Amino acid sequence: MKKIICLVTLFILFTSAVVFSKDAAFVGRITRIEGNELLRYVEEKQDWISLIEDSPFGVNDLISSSEKTRVEIIIPNYTLLRMRENTQVRVERLGANVTSIHLLSGTARFQSSDFQTEIEVITPFGTAHSSDKVVFDVTVGENSAEFIALKGRLDFVHNSGDTEYEVLAGSSALMADDIGISTSEPLLNVNWNNWNYMRENIWQSRLSSQESRKYLPNNLTYEAYALDKNGIWENVYYRGRHHRFWRPTAIAVGWSPYSIGHWTLWNGDQCWIPAEPFGYVTHHYGSWLFTSGRWYWTPPIVSVSLSSVGISFGWYPGRVSWVSSGIYIGWYPLAWYERYYSHRHWGRYSHRFPKQPRYNLHRSHVNYAHAIIIARNQLYRHRDYRKVRLHNIQRDQIKARYRSVGRIHDIRKIKKDRKRHHFSNSPPRIRPHYSALEKVKTQRQQKRISITKTKDLKKRALVKRTHISQPIIPPRMGQVKKKHRQPIKIQKARSPQPRKIQKAQLTRPIKVQKKRLTQSRKIHEARLMQQRKIQKSQSAQPRKIHKGRLMQQREPINHGQEKQKRGWKGYRLTSKNGFGAGRE
């Protein structure tokens, strides 16, 4: 009998572990936005909206960073993504061991701290894969893409072939265009690289927190610092046993979960955007319970056992139940054993909710008395619901007058609210060009090789290790910034024959052109010389006459003969050329 009980227990644990690995939802968190703004495209509105920190980052999300903006995103599968300014990415797939990102344009840095996580980066010119502890940069321009490995190894497959190229840390960068690939010197922007080092140092100091890491799954170690800073862990007697629960301390009197922040519509469900520094991990993972006059947060279960209190690891938009009555609507937190109904399946503890429920679920829930009741038109217009909630509502009134609501965005006033998709109060200042959406449509139709097929491709080392004399060290703060150079070796793969023909065709006209120029120049010079001679010959005669006039000579005159011929006396002035002048 004991053996049968042990086998049944092991079977339950094994099946629960299998369900956890398959059904758990993986959604990234936007942890940092520096600069102007980060935008997300909403398909339903056909428009862009502004995002804020602690916004979700999930499948089919298309986000774009504006000018002078840098973004940091953490995905709970040991993957970290940082975006530079004017960068656009789209999420293709997120899972326990897979992160697939479509980089449309700009520069992004990818980092993995686990050997089992596969990172796939899709570009217009090819796909890069990595299944190691790796750090690499990818830059996508209009005509080419650049891949630089800073740590570990990176494999690249061009769209035109099935050969897998290997990029190693410390080697040359890989350049890819529409024709083929080539190599170039890896050049890193100093400011961009220093910002990444600064963020790394911040997270290294945050990961030094020890208390909360004991009770959190390894996927949520990045959130431990917020729990240690804003609350304490206490032994709470609950259901006949003592459990380790977390209680917030940096809160005001009368605080309750899902009260400071706001709701927004994301992927068909109401998503909570918290305003507390500890709000993201406590409102999207685990569950809340009210006991001994206080609110406690139960973390996701690390190890499954029969006495465990809480839910397994998985991301949820907001584990609450909705109620409505007339012009009012409300919500309250669900306990760890109560079902969460949603439009989309988010994991093991989420269920599809019918449009018209047959009974009032809130009557069987333990926290319905703590419901936050507000007017319907105030749902998407406030960031702190404590100011607009109804305070003088009794528990019996909620139980008798209010009914459970499934899809609240189907309610007319809520459905027509223009702010139901907004994460921020401010609209976007500058929207990306419509060509970004055209790139998504065209690039998704291109031929791509999946992650499973890359293992069967031939592998060829792009740069041999013997060619590298010194490892390339990324520049740090204080060094001179290197100018970014455009790829000049992209046409290396072309055959040399066309170049020889092209040179022969170019050299012949140049020689003919030189000969024609020399002959025409000689003819022109000869004509000029001839004209000069003619001018000299024409100008020489008047000069001699003038000179003769100046150099006149006196000749004696026979007065007798002259008297007979002309009848006048005196001298006659003659010149050498025979011309002269006289007087009577």
65 closest CA partner among 195, 166, 252: 195
Note the pLDDT of residue 558. Answer: 54
Residue 249's pLDDT band (boundaries 50, 70, 90)?
very high
CA angle (95, 97, 98) in 5-degree steps: 60
Residue 574's pLDDT band (boundaries 50, 70, 90)?
very low
339 closest CA partner among 359, 323, 361: 361
> E strand or H helix at 561, and its extent?
helix 559-565
391: exposed, middle or buried (C-beta count within 10 Å: 0-12, 13-18, 19+)? Answer: exposed
For 91-123, how does the pLDDT look when each residue is reduced to its tens digit (9 = 90+)?
999 998 999 999 999 999 999 988 788 999 999
Point out the least confidently predicted range of 45-54, 169-178, 263-272, 346-355. Answer: 346-355
Q: Are 420 and 47 in contact (CB under 8 A)?
A: no
Q: Residues 156-180: what's their mean pLDDT?
A: 89
Distance CA 508, CA 489 (A): 27
Distance CA 79, CA 454 (A): 21
Distance CA 35, CA 85 (A): 9
Query: How far is C-alpha 154 from the chain's CA centre?
Result: 19
Point out the least confidently predicted range of 93-102, 396-405, 474-483, 515-524. Answer: 474-483
17 closest CA partner among 291, 348, 382, 358: 348
Q: How many CB atoms lie within 10 A of CB 362?
A: 22
Does 206 or 545 have the greater pLDDT score? 206
- Domain map (residue ranges) of the chain: 24-203+445-491, 210-415, 552-584
Q: Are 346 and 25 in contact (CB under 8 A)?
A: yes
Q: Residues 546-569: what's their mean pLDDT?
A: 47
Indicate if the pLDDT at residue 546 is higher than 90.
no
Q: Residues 467-475: what's their mean pLDDT?
A: 36
Task: Please give the span between the terminal C-alpha atoms of the chain, in angstroms, as a whole number.
Answer: 171
Note the pLDDT of residue 10. Answer: 42
Q: Are 60 and 444 in contact (CB under 8 A)?
A: no
Q: Are 119 and 127 in contact (CB under 8 A)?
A: no
Note the pLDDT of residue 359. Answer: 54
CATH number of 24-203+445-491: 2.60.120.1440
Note the pLDDT of residue 58. Answer: 94
The mean predicted confidence, pLDDT, of the chain is: 77
For 394-432, how does the pLDDT look when each residue is reduced to its tens digit (9 = 90+)?
888 888 888 888 777 667 678 788 888 899 888 888 888
Buried b (16+ CB within 10 A) or exposed e, 305-321: eeeebbbbbbbbbbbbb
Indicate if the pLDDT at residue 559 is higher than 50.
yes
Note the pLDDT of residue 430. Answer: 82
